[in-house]
């Protein structure tokens, strides 16, 4: 997921340097969020890793202040069976 930052006048920030974090605020399952990466252009990217299907909401913070725009609701869906990761037991 990506957070795009804007200044108080609504202009897109074009440099990095902020401390940004993402956290899960609702939903199930509890997901693992890889720490945010500063892309140096006013955007910050984090990866959610989860293999269990479910719905959850993520919130972002800039310098430990909650971003006030609506938080996105995300869904993890199960994909089709994979021929490369399926395991035969016996």
Position 90 confidence tier, pLDDT thresholds 50, 70, 90: low
The burial of 36, by beta-carbon neighbours within 10 Å (0-12 exposed, 13-18 middle, 19 or more buried), is given as buried
Residue in this structure with the two tokens 């720490």, named with its chain if needed: 35
pLDDT in tens, 60-75: 999 999 999 988 888 8
Whether the model clears a pTM of 0.85, i.e. scores above it, the answer is no
pLDDT in tens, 1-51: 899 999 999 999 999 999 999 999 888 878 888 899 999 999 999 988 877
The answer to whether 1 touches 42, Cβ cutoff 8 Å, is: no
Quick one: tokens of 6?
């804007």
């Amino acid at each position: 997921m990506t957070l795009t930052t804007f200044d108080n006048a609504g202009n897109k920030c074009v440099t990095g340097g902020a401390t940004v974090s993402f956290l899960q605020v609702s939903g199930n399952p509890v997901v693992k969020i890889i720490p945010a990466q500063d892309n140096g252009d006013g955007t910050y990217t984090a990866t959610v890793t989860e293999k269990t299907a479910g719905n959850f909401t993520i919130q972002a913070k800039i310098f430990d202040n909650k971003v006030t725009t609506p938080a996105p609701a995300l869904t993890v869906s199960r994909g089709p069976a994979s021929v490369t990761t399926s395991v035969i037991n016996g």
